Amino acid sequence: MFHVKQVTKMVEIIIHCPVCDGTVFSPLLKVKDYFLSQEEFSILSCGSCGFRFVNPRPDKSDIGRYYQSDDYISHDAGKKDFLSIIYKFARRISIRRKYGIVSRCSGGRKILDIGCGTAEFLAYCQKQGWDVTGIEPNEKARLFAQTRNLITTYEQLDALADLQGTFHCITMWHVLEHIHDLNGLIIRVRKLLAPAGMFIIAVPNCNSWDAQHYNQHWAAYDVPRHLYHFTKDTILKLATRSKMQVVKIYPQKLDAYYVSMLSEKYKSGKPHYFKSVVAGFWSNLQATRKETGHSSMIFILTLKNT
């Protein structure tokens, strides 16, 4: 576990790095919440391991208000604007690719998706004959998953206490960066995984070309909803700390284009689609040439004792 200091009822400060337990942090960026509140938040970097995180940050009792928007695209089924249409098109492609990765990596067909949203991915898996379960704290999204997609979905992991050691695959698609108790979550995942199970996580990569290009306007910082900002190196270190190992890494190339579209909008106040496409293409190209990695990446982890 790492430690936080309660400053007020709704704000907390990290005092130990969740990756290495370091206590010396350097200011890195001040980033505005362009999506909703327009508040500014500080991103710090650990002096020991380089891990980046929002500090101070809203605590669990307060973070919910930063998700309260009709435009929160992760849970929105009805938006018809251009970015929403592009997002949904990319999501359909992404779901099939995710399933391909899961089906290749998993040794069984029982899957848990943490932060499943409206459970589009799980619904696809279920159609392929998988035994599926979702965790989704957001009530609106959870009810949609249960009533429209007919997926067994719970609010918290506590509901699965009797299913320890039974899941062949546990996935978190762009969810890990939202979790307050990072190490506590991974401990619970370890308990739920079957002995040869796979833990699959997708996260934005703040070391990517597009992250460096857009700097404080990079949409994937998404403060304060994204509490942590990962790189390949920090994921490897987090896995080691958690007695797990990374066995495979996949790029999420489409993310570079969507993130660049939002970043251009945050930077100039209006979308620049041509610039976004060029930036997304260049980011993916640079990722193949350098060790910085793609805008978003998928990591396949296994227990070290397997």
Q: Does the N-terminal peptide bond of residue 251 adopt cis geometry, omega within 30 degrees of 0?
A: no
Digit-coded pLDDT (tens) for 230-250:
999 999 999 999 999 999 999
The answer to the question of residue 197 being in a domain is yes
Digit-coded pLDDT (tens) for 119-155:
999 999 999 999 999 999 999 999 999 999 999 999 9
Q: What's at 113, amino acid-wise?
A: D
Instruction: Please determine, for residue 97, whether its predicted confidence score (pLDDT) is greater than 80.
Output: yes
CATH of residue 170: 3.40.50.150
Distance CA 176, CA 163 (A): 21
Q: Average pLDDT of 46-61?
A: 96
Digit-coded pLDDT (tens) for 181-209:
999 999 999 999 999 999 999 999 999 99
User: 278: which 2 tokens?
Assistant: 């060029």
Residue whose token pair is 């392929």: 128
The answer to the question of residue 17 being in a domain is no
Instruction: Please determine, for residue 1, whether its predicted confidence score (pLDDT) is greater than 80.
Output: no
**CB atoms closer than 10 angstroms to residue 159:** 13
How many structural domains are present in the chain? 1
- pLDDT category at 83 given cuts 50, 70, 90 is low
Digit-coded pLDDT (tens) for 272-287:
999 999 999 999 999 9
Angle among Cα 201, 206, 210 to the nearest 5 degrees reads: 115
> Are the CB atoms for 53 and 59 separated by under 8 Å?
no
The answer to the question of residue 123 being in a domain is yes
- pLDDT for 40 equals 97
- Burial (0-12, 13-18, 19+ Cβ within 10 Å), 288: exposed
The answer to the question of residue 127 being in a domain is yes
Instruction: Please determine, for residue 211, whether its predicted confidence score (pLDDT) is greater than 50.
Output: yes
The answer to the question of residue 53 being in a domain is no
- pLDDT for 271 equals 86
The answer to the question of residue 55 being in a domain is no
- pLDDT for 290 equals 82
User: 43 vs 291, which has greater pLDDT?
Assistant: 43
Region label for 24, one of left (φ > 0), alpha (ψ between -120 and 50) or beta (otherwise)? beta
The answer to the question of residue 35 being in a domain is no
| Residue 90 belongs to domain spanning | 80-303
Instruction: Please determine, for residue 36, whether its predicted confidence score (pLDDT) is greater than 50.
Output: yes
The long-range contacts involving 249-252, CB below 8 angstroms and separated by at least 24 positions, are 249/297, 249/298, 249/299, 249/300, 250/101, 250/297, 250/298, 250/300, 251/284, 251/287, 251/293, 251/294, 251/296, 251/297, 251/298, 252/94, 252/202, 252/294, 252/295, 252/296, 252/297, 252/298
Pick from 7-21, 95-109, 193-207: least confident? 7-21
- pLDDT category at 73 given cuts 50, 70, 90 is very low
Q: Which of 86, 63, 65, 88 is nearest to 75 (CA)?
A: 88
The answer to the question of residue 244 being in a domain is yes
Distance CA 259, CA 262 (A): 5
